[in-house]
């Protein structure tokens, strides 16, 4: 066999070229990760912050309730601040003529609510959670939100004397028969008072009128003072957040919000409807037999004749070498990218020589040398590449 002259080895890539190539490959992933980080930061910045001072009777901030508490004390009604259910229970049991004000009821566990339900005296629930309503004000259910300033329109003295108040964004309720309903928005009350176990439970859908910021608006201060002054003693409960796991174990479906479940159901229905619509429109799949079956050998011979008619021996040699390199590198256990990496040429040639015993110069010329000069040399190159592949596979 006539050996083809060995081509000079390709110049190794510089560190800068390697870094540039790696950057081009990975920049898409980095851009996506950076975009996700930016979106996360923006969402975290835009997320409304939960203010720990909201309805805190000791807080002088705008969302605190210290002003109302101090005014109530100045009018002769003592106010005890409790930060736990046990402290509130002790204060209420020491004086049965006590109004228990419950704020931030979403922090209460089922055990806490059961303890509060067993206490004597009246209760005032500020923006109660659904669990708090069920436990402490049975029969009262949330039914939307309010909008605008509303007049009392009820016989409850505390509300009638206070007059109109601003309850924008507060909850409205469905109340059971026999309950006193005040501040009706679209026929639904924002304040409900009902007897429960020999005591009065008052539910108000917004704690805003009790905050320092809103105390001078409309009849907000009067309503708060009237409600808190209905008994000789007041205990204001602002519970601390419960420890993790205190609420008991919940299943995954219980933790998923109802809105998410509804959205998933709507998406499933939409997908089914689209599938039915498109299936009816497109009809069943039509199978058409091919008129001619072309054997793989004929396709190879046809391509060879095309190369020959166009004098494209260099293209044919390039295709032979590329295919041989892919198969040889796979047999040698090298990565798939090694076949197209010029920097791996010397390692590939050395590996083939170790398995076949052929001279490295001949192997390098066959795989990386110049294109054949004529058809005969192209045939010899093809045969030599086949022989190298056979020897490596059998070694």
Domain boundaries, the chain: 66-237, 306-394
pLDDT 10s digits, 6-51: 444 545 556 666 666 677 766 667 776 777 778 777 766 665 554 5
Structure tokens at 215: 């105390």
| Residue 217, token pair as written in the block | 């608006």
By the 8 A CB rule, do 208 and 166 touch? yes
Q: How far is CA 276 from the centre of its chain?
A: 31
> What's the pLDDT at 42?
74
E-only strand ranges, the chain:
79-82, 98-102, 122-126, 141-145, 149-150, 165-166, 171-174, 180-185, 188-196, 199-204, 233-237
| Separation of alpha carbons 166 and 149, rounded Å | 4
Structure tokens that stand for 171 in this block: 């909850």
Enter the DSSP assignment of 239: P
Rounded to the nearest 5 degrees, what angle is found at the Cα of 229, between the Cα atoms of 191 and 58?
A: 90
pLDDT 10s digits, 383-392: 888 888 899 8
The tokens of 33 are what?
Answer: 């990760």
pTM: 0.52
Query: Which residues are paired to 234 by β-bridges?
Result: 79, 99
Note whether 162 and 190 are within 8 A (CB): no
Q: Is 202 exposed, middle or buried (0-12, 13-18, 19+ CB in 10 A)?
A: buried
pLDDT digits (tens, 9 = 90+) for 364-378: 888 888 888 888 888
CA distance 298 to 290: 17
Structural fold of domain 66-237: Rossmann fold (3.40.50)
Contact 121, 199 (CB under 8 A): yes
């Amino acid at each position: 066999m006539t050996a083809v002259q060995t081509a000079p080895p390709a110049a190794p890539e510089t560190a800068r070229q390697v870094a540039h190539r790696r950057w081009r490959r990975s920049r898409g992933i980095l851009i996506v990760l950076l975009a996700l980080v930016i979106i996360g930061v923006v969402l975290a910045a835009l997320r409304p912050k939960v203010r720990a001072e909201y309805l805190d009777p000791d807080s002088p901030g705008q969302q605190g309730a210290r002003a109302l508490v101090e005014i109530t004390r100045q009018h002769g009604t003592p106010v005890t601040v409790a930060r736990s259910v046990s402290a509130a229970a002790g204060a209420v049991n020491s004086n049965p003529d006590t109004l228990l004000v419950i704020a931030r009821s979403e922090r209460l566990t089922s055990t806490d609510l059961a303890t509060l339900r067993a206490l004597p005296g009246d209760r005032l629930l500020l923006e109660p959670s659904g669990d708090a309503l069920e436990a402490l004000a049975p029969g009262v259910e949330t039914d939307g939100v309010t909008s605008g300033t509303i007049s009392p329109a009820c016989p409850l003295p505390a509300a009638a004397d206070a007059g109109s108040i601003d309850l924008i964004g507060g909850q409205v309720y469905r109340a059971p028969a026999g309950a006193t309903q005040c501040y009706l928005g679209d026929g639904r009350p924002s304040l409900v008072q009902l007897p429960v176990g020999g005591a009065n439970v008052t539910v108000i859908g917004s704690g805003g009128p009790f905050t320092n910021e809103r105390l001078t608006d409309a009849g907000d201060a009067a309503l708060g003072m009237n409600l808190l002054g209905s008994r000789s003693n007041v205990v204001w409960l602002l519970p601390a957040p419960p420890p993790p796991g205190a609420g008991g174990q919940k299943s995954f479906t219980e933790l998923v919000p109802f809105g998410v479940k509804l959205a998933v159901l709507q998406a499933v229905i939409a997908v089914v409807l689209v599938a039915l619509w498109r299936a009816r429109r497109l009809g069943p799949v039509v199978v058409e037999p091919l008129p001619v079956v072309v054997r793989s050998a004929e396709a190879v011979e046809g391509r060879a004749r095309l190369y020959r008619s166009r004098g494209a021996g260099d293209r044919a040699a390039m295709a032979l070498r590329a295919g041989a390199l892919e198969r040889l590198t796979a047999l040698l256990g090298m990565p798939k990218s090694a076949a197209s990496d010029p920097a791996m040429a010397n390692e590939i040639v050395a590996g083939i020589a170790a398995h076949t015993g052929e001279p490295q110069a001949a192997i390098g010329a066959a795989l990386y040398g110049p294109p054949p000069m004529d058809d005969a040399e192209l045939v010899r190159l093809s045969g030599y590449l086949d022989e190298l592949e056979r020897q490596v596979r059998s070694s």
